[in-house]
Structure 1
């Protein structure tokens, strides 16, 4: 079974140490044409009238092939597509597209496209910048009686899913009775029930959802909204690239999407006990560099009044970018080098990384010449082309993940 984890392109104009570290090899998700590199994939399935076999699909995805002007989304065999629309997420404006056979997709550059398949060929708003992304939303309706059907008084959604982050929204008036995947269950504002999950396995998820009719009272929840945030829909991703442990230094790359119209700043508060150097980054949508200032104490509050828990000792990097247009969004990548002798150090002859992760998607890349010996939290482990080991931690829970990693030097024989 092919890997479904998204491929990242992390090539920026950085300090020499950062430029050496920002690389990742992986395979594109199963739901995209095989020659494409993608990131940030999230799919929302809205089940329509029971018995119709129809469900709406909203698919958020980023094309990351530098220079690409088109994106190909396959129409799954056995499904009949209709009501297609495509939106450029950066501007909120519609994008041109057409349905093409696999032979045409191949001729247009998708070399591994199935010649017997069909594809939504999207013309991107701008060529994908080097190291950046072309973010789009594909909206379509499928009719597929093998995936969405009725058994007595029960509706069943049974479908292998090829990306990590998904949500299934039940029809109005239905209650969840079965989910084959561990999932968050969240009520939409209109009363519908949403089943949301992050799959941490490298293969397709054989998802099965079942539900029955139920008359349930609706109304605002008494639980704080922050406790019911959908984990799978979160957009933050962070990668730590460890330098040699004697330095206590590590580079990081942090991706974030701002959706609030008019916002043009991002504040990255430096964790207590750490110091920051070499800040930089880019607007992933355009490739434009981010402007930044390193501020302390009251200067942070003056630049960004909404920043919380600022003390005179607080240090932060304030990044600036063009304000988010109404109806659109902006995705940025910030890069920094941290020094943190408490959380990254040598103990005897052993490398020790001891840090808490608050985001859903986190990764740590060991320095060259080191072999992993312990990881306290489960991770997907891979080897980069240069021999360094990478650990990917996907945390579907809403709490923090405490990660302790140790490694030892590789001794040449």
Structure 2
């Protein structure tokens, strides 16, 4: 079965079907599809509909790929509203196809014939070590995953994607959620649950909610407080004006590659999505005590290499660059420049540099190192130097051995605060 739909430049169904069949038999075989950066937002519709709208953000990463396949979960009735290129904001051509199409492309070699997929034509081939970023907008009807029982809304679904949020219908209060999640009141009065899965397999995520009197949550309240008493905590007063950042949707991954401890250095790269209209730069203020070297940057959507400058003290002031804090003669800034972001568009940057920090990464004796650093991002990965064994990690992490024999630690923090990570390792 091949059902053709297009978001733009619609053709007659017969012509589209013929073209699809031709492409099926002539498309070059590619290596297996790979992907990254997946985030799913579920907006629960009225429980009686047994339907929920899905905004699926994902990046194709197979170099040279011009298509991407998104499997439709068996048992779901899909209604695809559109597929969009997240860099340009443009509509992408898509079709609902069966497993034969997916398998024939070479991208999904194990596709079953009776499975359904959303096949997406990318705007540009995925560049080397780059991203083809997509947004798939669809509604599923799935009575097994979303239903009402004895007046209670139940959303029960195995979540294979690591980053997710679930938005309750308006005028529903949360009764329970079985995995630790942020709870955030949105501007429109709906409650949103934000969940990051720190593990390596999908989890059975279950949310229960019930109706609440209309208007209790829909009215935005003034974020001021009549309580002026000091609080018995490390803070002087409660954060009454604090807007909670939704962590699951954040895209600031960072990887640390520890060099030999004697060097006090680690190579790192971090990805950052810029969506603000008119922004033409990324500014990275180097932490006090650290020294940055060999910086580079590129746009992952296209592979374009960007201009990078390292500036110090008066150089920053003389260029009129606002870094959001006072500039001293010790201030070090890595500035990355790119064309301004246009309306409805975004750019995904990858920034690489080497940090030297003798105060946070060093040998405690000839056979043991210590690495101590604060993580502000939600997802952080640390790769130990070759020939070293992990002995301690102060913060829980998933651990795996890479193909190159180096130990990798993955830290996931679904909270909006920093985690203080201390790692020790010994020479093999």
TM-score (norm 2): 0.86
1:74 aligned counterpart, secondary structure: strand
The aligned residue for residue 84 of structure 1 is: 81
Structure 1's 226 and 36: CA in aligned 2 closer, same or farther, altered over 3 A? Answer: farther
Partner of 1:288: 304
Equivalence for 2:353: 336
RMSD: 1.4
Does the alignment pair 1:137 with 2:135?
Answer: yes
Q: Residues 70, 282 of structure 1: CA spacing in aligned structure 2 closer, same or farther, 3 A cutoff?
A: same
Question: CA, structure 1 residues 132+403, in 2 after alignment: closer, same or farther (shift >3 Å)?
Answer: same
Return the match for 2:54 from 46, 52, 57: 57
277, 282, 285: which is aligned to 1:266?
282
The 1:313/1:111 distance shift into structure 2, 3 A limit, reads same
In structure 2, distance between residues paired with 1:298 and 1:123: 49
Equivalent positions of 1:259-408 (< 5 A) are 259-301=275-317, 302-348=319-365, 349-408=367-426
Q: Could you tell me whether the CA contact under 8 Å between 2:285 and 2:323 is conserved in 1?
A: no
Q: What residue ranges of structure 2 are gaps of 5+ in the alignment?
A: 1-30, 224-238
How far apart in 1 are the matches of 2:78 and 2:192? 23
What is aligned with 1:10? none
Distance 1:226 1:137, change over 3 A: farther
**In the TM superposition, what whole-angstrom CA distance separates every residue of 1:335-373 from its partner, at most 9, and x where no partner exists?**
001110000000012111011111101011111110111
CA distance in 2, matches of 1:82, 1:390: 40
Report Cα offsets for 1:305-332 as digits up to 9, x if no partner.
2533432311010001122121011000
Q: How many Å separate the matches in 1 of 2:327 and 2:396?
A: 34
Alpha carbons 1:267, 1:304 under 8 Å: kept: no
1:41 positional shift? 0.8
For 1:226 and 1:197, locate their aligned partners in 2 and report how far apart those are by CA, in whole Å.
Answer: 20
Q: Deviation of residue 226 (structure 1)?
A: 5.3
Aligned partner of residue 246 in structure 1, secondary structure: helix
Whole-Å separation in 2 of the counterparts to 1:180 and 1:352 = 36
When normalised by structure 1's length, the TM-score is 0.89
Conservation of the 8 A alpha-carbon contact between 2:32 and 2:62: no
Secondary structure of 2:103's counterpart equals helix
Inter-partner Cα distance in structure 2 for 1:221 and 1:261: 28
Return closer, same or farther for 1:309/1:363 CA change in 2, 3 Å cut-off.
farther
Distance 2:417 2:85 in 1: 32
SS in 2 for 1:51: helix
Between the aligned partners of 2:242 and 2:407, the Cα distance in structure 1 is 34
Cα distance in 1 for residues equivalent to 2:408 and 2:357 = 20
* Residues 65 and 54 of structure 1: CA distance in aligned 2, closer, same or farther (over 3 Å): same
* Structure-2 change in CA distance of 1:309 and 1:160 (3 Å): farther
- Listed as ranges, the gaps of 5+ residues in structure 1 are 1-33
Match of 2:55, SS? strand
Structure 1 Cα separation of the partners of residues 299 and 327 of structure 2: 26
Whether the aligned pair in 1 keeps the contact of 2:185 and 2:191 (CA below 8 Å) is yes
Deviations 1:90-147 (A, max 9, x none): 0111111000001111112221222220000000110000011000000000000011
Q: Hey, what does 2:259 align to over in structure 1?
A: 243
* CA separation of 1:221 and 1:374: change in aligned 2, threshold 3 A: farther
User: How many residues get paired?
Assistant: 377
